[in-house]
Structure 1
């Protein structure tokens, strides 16, 4: 049925529930899992404010890389414990929904699994749900975990 299940992760407990569901599904059908986290581009306003303190770009990129690594390391531990073949991918400087859809295509995923809400807070009210955007723009099936 499925050969490569892509899982979107943002570090929230809810995204880990989505990961657990994907790992169980992958183990059942013999699929591998591609675990993806996307870090957004730094806003121009934040960058302009931080420039007063020196060259913040390298610091920002290092912090985002460390954050992504922590998310993916935790996910890799769960996949190892589940006995599922996996790959981890960090997509930097991208809108999350776009990064997930593009990575799904590039990795040959035949299913995207993601949670319905993550760590978006007030931004979600203005920008819309990342999950809704993935569902709207993906050409492959999307399984939404609530």
Structure 2
């Protein structure tokens, strides 16, 4: 078929909190904590991508791995799909329902809502 798979993982920045819990003043982590967080996120992303690369190689699939650091996952996925002229986005859904879905959000739902590229959701 000549198809190529682009395997993406996105790591988000360390959250900065504002609101009632911080009396409206907000809170930002100390610089060292941010550096440690980013390093641990990068390490986890590299392992995820290495495992995915191994699986693709074993199956004979032409695959490229991409780590997008410090980004909102749904936005980054849509941006990469558009910039690489992908014809399909394949995502997993954790199947969260009800209040958990509202509290945790859904990257898959956001990609489905914002992508002009077809999306296949695997449960």
Which TM-score band (shorter chain)? 0.7 to 0.9
The partner residue of 1:38 within 10, 31, 55 is 10
Name the Cα RMSD after superposition.
2.5
Summarize the Cα distance change of 1:96–1:123 in structure 2 as closer, same or farther, 3 Å threshold: farther
* Structure 2 residues without counterparts, runs of 5 or longer: 18-26
Larger helix share, 1 or 2: 1
Partner of 1:132: 109
Deviations 1:71-105 (A, max 9, x none): 10000000000101110001111111111101111
Provide TM-score, normalisation by structure 1: 0.69
Provide TM-score, normalisation by structure 2: 0.81
Partner of 2:32: 55
Assess if the C-alpha contact under 8 Å between 1:117 and 1:131 holds in 2: no
| Higher radius of gyration, 1 or 2 | 2
Aligned length: 114
Partner of 1:81: 58
Structure 1 ranges of 4+ moved more than 3 A: none
Q: Report SS of the residue matched to 2:32.
A: coil
* Structure 1 residues without counterparts, runs of 5 or longer: 1-28
